[in-house]
Structure 1
Amino acid sequence: MQITTVRRVVTGHDDNGHAVVVADDIVDGAFHRPGRPVALTDLWSIASVPVTGSGENEPKQDSFSLAPPQNGVLFRVVQFDPEPPGTRNRTDGAEVFAGMGAGGNHVASRHPYMHRTETVDFAIVLQGSITMLLDQEDVELSAGDVVIQRGTNHAWSNRSAETCLVAFTLVDARLDP
């Protein structure tokens, strides 16, 4: 898997209070496991809201969490390469989520990577197309489409021949099933 890089431009203020660019970089540290056509790149994390002070909340690249911090927000880009044939027959879903520290988020269902998080997620398809699988329906999405995912069971399946990029903002929530 060739992992797509993401340029991140961060603004702030100089000593005179003027708006300036404080960082302009390519973000490294994508979370990827061999055999899985998905790579997650965390771009920014907010420990809690409202943000106070300078908001220096760059994510730690030495660890990975599927969900944002409690009371916090996480911004990431996910690369979904085409799903290999036979993926729906895999039985390693619980193991995959456990490897992300999210074993309790896996949902045994019609797709091995069905899961649910206690978050409200704002997703924008940046490139390509993807299928969002819910408990009983599939939703085809393409570049420019937006999803507001409110703590429901879901999985993502790239059924196309091209890479798909989706930007996610995950907001910690307390949701009823």
Structure 2
Amino acid sequence: MTKTEARLRRVAIGETAEGRPCVARDDAVAPIETPLMPEAKFFSLWGADAMPSVPNDGAAPDFHAWFPPAGGFRFELIELPPQGVGQDAKAPTPEEMKQALKETEALLPGLIRTMDPRRPGMHRTDTIDMIYVTEGASLLVLDTGEEIAMGTGDSVVLNGQPHAWRNPHEAPCRLLTISLGVKRAG
């Protein structure tokens, strides 16, 4: 699939000064791809770092980090490739890994600091994540090692727990995600 084919259409409806609905934007969202996670695609569809108010003109709120701060939100689609797809047979050199981490941080700010360096893919965020599997299947892996099979039409709500996603299947898996930034107690 080429990057052009992977684009998703995004339509945002706003309101004019006269109170009439209007199409504020109708555009394509290209995937974010990083060498640290070959063949994975991250689509940032919408988000804000603070709760917006309505009515508004439908302009895209300004935000920079992949995960929202407390009071913010993100709307994303993540495509997980089958395990092993796009990965070289040899392990990266320390310099290659350093460069991949740097590129990933530039493309998906804040993602790396949520990761457990001892357990690839395991991460913890200060968010409530509402996830719906739109296509394919994968495993949700909890910090305890428990694996939960998730398939098309399944949903899960994560309340800030450490977790990872694995796709041992032959086809990609797409996860539609809404993340609400929250404060972690204690």
TM range (shorter): 0.7 to 0.9
User: Where do 1:21-170 residues align within 5 Å?
Assistant: 21-28=23-30, 30-34=31-35, 36=37, 37-51=39-53, 54=56, 56-58=59-61, 65-84=65-84, 99-100=104-105, 101-108=110-117, 111-135=119-143, 136-170=145-179
Equivalent AA in structure 1 for residue 11 of structure 2: V
**What's the CA shift string for 1:117-141, capped at 9, x where partnerless?**
0100111111111111002200111
Post-superposition offset of 1:107 = 2.1
Task: Give the counterpart letter for 1:39 in structure 2.
Answer: K
2:19 alignment partner AA: G
- How many angstroms does 1:25 deviate by? 1.8
| Structure 2 CA distance for aligned equivalents of residues 126 and 171 of structure 1 | 20
Asked if structure 2 preserves the Cα contact closer than 8 Å seen for 1:115 and 1:154, the reply is yes
Contact 1:43 1:59 in 2 (8 A): no
- Quick one: which amino acid aligns to residue 161 of structure 1? E
Q: What letter corresponds to residue 83 of structure 1 in structure 2?
A: Q
Partner of 2:9: 7
Opposite residue 72 of structure 1, the aligned amino acid is G
CA contact (8 A) 2:14 2:59 kept: no
2:126·2:184 contact (CA, 8 Å) conserved in 1?
yes
Question: Distance in 2 between the 1:103 and 1:168 partners?
Answer: 18
TM-score relative to the length of structure 2: 0.76
Shift of 1:52: 5.1
Out of 17, 20, 26, the residue aligned to residue 18 of structure 1 is 20
Normalising by structure 1, we get a TM-score of 0.79
SS at match of 1:31: coil
Equivalent residues of 2:136, 2:152 under 8 A apart: yes
Please state how far the C-alpha of 1:33 moved relative to its aligned partner: 1.2
Q: SS of the counterpart of 1:144?
A: coil
**Distance in 1 separating the partners of 2:47 and 2:120:** 28
Q: In 2, distance between residues paired with 1:8 and 1:51?
A: 20
Percent identity of equivalent pairs: 25
Structure 1 residue ranges without an equivalent (≥5) = none
- Show structure 1 runs of 4+ deviating over 4 A: 94-98
Residue 59 and residue 124 in structure 1: after superposition, are their counterparts in 2 closer, same or farther (change >3 A)? farther
Question: Is contact 2:36-2:101 (8 Å) kept?
Answer: no
Map Cα deviations across residues 20-45 of structure 1 (whole Å, 9 max, x no partner). 322222112x2211252321110111
Q: What stretches of structure 2 of length at least 5 have no aligned partner? A: none
* Count of equivalent residues: 169
Offset at 1:51? 2.7
Residue 171 of structure 1, CA deviation: 0.7
CA distance in 2, matches of 1:35, 1:103: 10
